[in-house]
Structure 1
């Protein structure tokens, strides 16, 4: 009877273990699995942390918040935050919210918040507010990127009052930037001769965000930046522009991939950066 009971316990344990489903895995630049704590300890050593995301991935947004909390626990007010999701001309509205001078309703009226702001970015902004940390609105106002996509970078004309909202012109747009050639080819069939306009629209976002980071980065501090994965994948985008301006900066890139496999291995063709998150492809999406 005891043997049967022991066997039942063993089988139950095996069954339970077989049902354990990891929500994420983290791999370093060599493809070795590391835990969350080790990643955060390493991130504290960098000047800039570029945290790529899939905009609708619930687990990636949760990891961003947890990484922010843990970095704050280690670095305190040395931590600065910045986000693609907030545009430069909305910085004053963001600042008023952080100071408690406005509420959620007023912020929604004054800033162009993304549709998934409440579920995905409000927790980050509220954390910044609770710890009195700055949140830098780094992105170019979308109307300028849209104009570049339609008519090209040379068509962009700025009034004097608008120049603070866009990277200093002219700036470099080159297919040597990782990811841009891929984008040009992807858009080519749909955009024809205007494919480079879409590349330039991507570039003006990346260059503006990089410039925003540089303007706000201070010696001895860490700027943690949230943005879509394409903006820094394969060390392109924001990373490329930062390194062009400041080769001395220590910059960590966190990239994202999805997997249909239960153990969440790194995809075979994945180009690794400093830290690489793999999440289930069927994870709950926020939209």
Structure 2
């Protein structure tokens, strides 16, 4: 069960893991909880001041990189990402869309679709798009396609990440030179605060771990670092390939909130670039006003959203579902690993 829990956490963290129109920041809605899963409330994290979408986009306009964190599959997050993308384009049409949701080894499939060489279903199949692509990410890619904007497949290859998580960072040494060349020069660059956050997340869910569990946790963390370092390097490569363009990057919030993960590694690799982080915060059902003060370190700007429904109430059914979800295919082996 513990190994299963680590696999679940790896998915949530690694693959991490708006309403029809943004409400204006009037007195009537500034301090009210979002009424639907499409709605969000925007605020400046440093002041707690409520913002309209237009005000937010003006504050983001001069950032070299805008990172919009998300809870994967949350309707408000995906709608807001699309709204910010559009609002920023109106101010600065030189824009690049960078996405955690596509892996760098699928860049050719992304480019083929953008250039009109494949249809959408072909693109989804060829790029191994996430299952919720049509519901969540289609508007972002379509806006880029319709306006001739580059889209960067920013994440590390899924098979490599999975094998690092299973066998450790030494897996990279077994890869062909061509595959190693796609990855960052320092694929496991780290920051202490990120490791502390990761460990705290693990222990808060699962308590103390034995030696075997600690090894699995460390491998999972190295896989996480591989994702973050790859996304940071891909963003910087996009800036070099498209000078003067603003990068809009979409990612699971664990990769960006508190300016950790991908954001911290971006700053390590390129200290002079300006980065703005937009982070989601769940508005508790029993809170009368937005809990902005205790969340102000999560990003430069916050968007408050309703919590998603609880997935399981029956622990036995949850365990069976997770076992099925993470069942390893019989032919799924890493280099040097026995099946």
Shift in Å, 1:104? 1.3
Query: Deviation string for 1:96-131 (max 9, x for gaps)?
Result: 100111001211231111010110011111111100
Summarize the Cα distance change of 1:164–1:177 in structure 2 as closer, same or farther, 3 Å threshold: farther
CA displacement at 1:194 relative to structure 2: 2.7
Q: 1: CA distance between counterparts of 2:163 and 2:91?
A: 42
TM-score by length of structure 2 reads 0.73
Asked whether the 8 Å contact 1:24–1:264 carries over to 2, the reply is no
**Other-structure match for 2:90:** 73
Matched, 1:226 2:250: yes
Whether 1:184 and 2:171 are equivalent positions in the alignment is: no
Distance in 1, Cα, partners of 2:34 & 2:158: 42
- Structure 1 residues 114-123 or 157-166, which shifts more? 157-166
- Give the corresponding residue for 1:275: 301
Question: Cα offset for 1:195?
Answer: 1.6
Cross-structure match for 1:41: 58
C-alpha change, 1:56 and 1:274, in structure 2 (3 Å) is same
Give every structure 1 segment of 4 or more consecutive aligned residues whose post-TM-superposition deviation is greater than 6 Å: none
Whether the aligned pair in 2 keeps the contact of 1:177 and 1:237 (CA below 8 Å) is no
What is the rounded CA distance, in whole Å, between the counterparts of 1:280 and 1:199 in structure 2? 29
Call closer, same or farther: CA 1:185–1:205 in 2, change over 3 Å. Answer: same
What is the rounded CA distance, in whole Å, between the counterparts of 1:273 and 1:186 in structure 2? 18
2:101, 2:153 within 8 Å by CA — same for their partners in 1?
Answer: yes
Shift in alpha-carbon separation, 1:247–1:164, aligned structure 2, 3 A: same
| Structure 1 CA distance for aligned equivalents of residues 236 and 73 of structure 2 | 28
Tell me which of 267, 291, 294 is aligned to 1:266: 291
1:181-208 Cα distance to aligned partner (Å, 9 max, x none): 2222433546333322111111100000
The alignment status of 1:255 with 2:267, answered yes or no, reads: no
- Does residue 131 (structure 1) correspond to residue 147 (structure 2)? The answer is yes
2:33, 2:283 within 8 Å by CA — same for their partners in 1?
Answer: no
Aligned residues: 266
Aligned partners of 1:99, 1:284: CA distance in 2, in Å? 40
Gaps of 5+ in 2: 1-27, 312-339
Q: Is the 8 A contact 1:260 1:282 kept in 2?
A: no
CA radius of gyration, larger in:
1
- Partner in structure 2 of residue 6 of structure 1: none
Answer whether contact 1:26 1:278 (CA < 8 A) is retained.
yes
Instruction: Give the TM-score normalised by the residue count of structure 1.
Output: 0.85
